[in-house]
Structure 1
Amino acid sequence: MSSEHEWIDEEAGPVVRPYAVTRGRTRPASSSSLDLLAIIASTRSPAPAGADLGVQHRRLLACLAGQNRPVAEIASELGLPVGVVRVLLGDLLGYGLITVRPPRDKATAATESLLEEVINGLRAL
């Protein structure tokens, strides 16, 4: 058993309610838009002296190590609700530990016909 988590059994995993992870907050402290498709990157800066980083903050930073990822992918990787991840990302953004890049413009996104061509090409293989 880990000293960081209290386990019920091996299948249940760590039992921590989402509101406990975010300390009861439901919205990010930062006003930056943390859209599901916004790309998050670590600044690789050291945490400020007064930063109050919990276990989940550190897991999130480790998830970002060396790669840029969308918010939805980070939530999936960590197994946390998107709302919780947004609050944690807001904290990290406030400390200057991450940067947020808005999602690509719809005009530059792949069109339906392009996606159909890719699917047809893959089927042909």
Structure 2
Amino acid sequence: MADHGWAGGGDPMGGPPYRSMDDAHRQGGPSHHVQPAPAEQSSLVRPYAVTGGRTAPRTQLAMEALVSSATSIHHDLSTRTPEYQAISALCRHVRSVAEISAMLRIPLGVTRILVADMAAEGLVQLHQPQLNAGKPDLNLLERVLSGLRRL
């Protein structure tokens, strides 16, 4: 069984690294697979190892939630994991959890856990979307329905 990791260029679903159709045709056709460079092969780490075996974030975190570096406090990230350092660097500009996942080629579930942990430690700020954004309140709808029934 092939051991495709997700770090260093592998597809988060365990397949070979992504290639565009142009790359595929230049390298001998669409069935040709690109092998990761030796440096990439040595950095393969299983997602559960990065999260300490956890499969759920500490807090609910929507994939469209926006994340930014906590700029009010300077944190020394040199002792932190490479994933923390990379997320912190990306979040100098506001990014969604999904963008962070895609840009770092880390599975979305792992990204949610890491970002939630970083938020709990004050390393990043979360800007969660409103749950009922643009939708009327349920209590209001029930009152309207009750009023209509009384007519």
What is the TM-score with the length of structure 1 in the denominator? 0.66
Q: Tell me, which stretches of 5 or more residues in structure 2 are unaligned?
A: 1-6, 9-34, 136-151
Aligned residues: 98
Task: Verify: 1:75 aligned to 2:101, yes or no.
Answer: yes
| TM-fit CA distance, 1:34 | 1.1
Residue 75 of structure 2 is matched in structure 1 by: 47
- Percent identity over the alignment is 32
Residue 21 of structure 1 is matched in structure 2 by: 50
Partner AA of 1:63 in structure 2: L
Distance 1:9 1:61 in 2: 25
Partner AA of 2:120 in structure 1: G
| TM-fit CA distance, 1:72 | 0.4
Partner AA of 2:46 in structure 1: R
Distance 2:94 2:69 in 1: 8
Summarize the alignment of residues 1-125 of structure 1 with structure 2, pairs less than 5 Å apart. Answer: 9-10=36-37, 13=40, 14-29=43-58, 31=59, 33-44=60-71, 45-47=73-75, 53-65=80-92, 67-103=93-129, 106-107=133-134
SS at the partner of 1:107? Answer: coil
Q: Tell me, which stretches of 5 or more residues in structure 1 are unaligned?
A: 109-125
Partner AA of 1:101 in structure 2: H
**What is the CA RMSD across the aligned residues, in angstroms?**
2.9
Partner AA of 1:78 in structure 2: L
Q: Which has the higher contact order (CA 8 A, sep 6+)?
A: 1
SS at the partner of 2:134? Answer: helix
Distance 2:112 2:69 in 1: 15
User: Residue 24 and residue 107 in structure 1: after superposition, are their counterparts in 2 closer, same or farther (change >3 A)?
Assistant: same
What is the TM-score with the length of structure 2 in the denominator? 0.55
Residue 14 of structure 2 is matched in structure 1 by: none
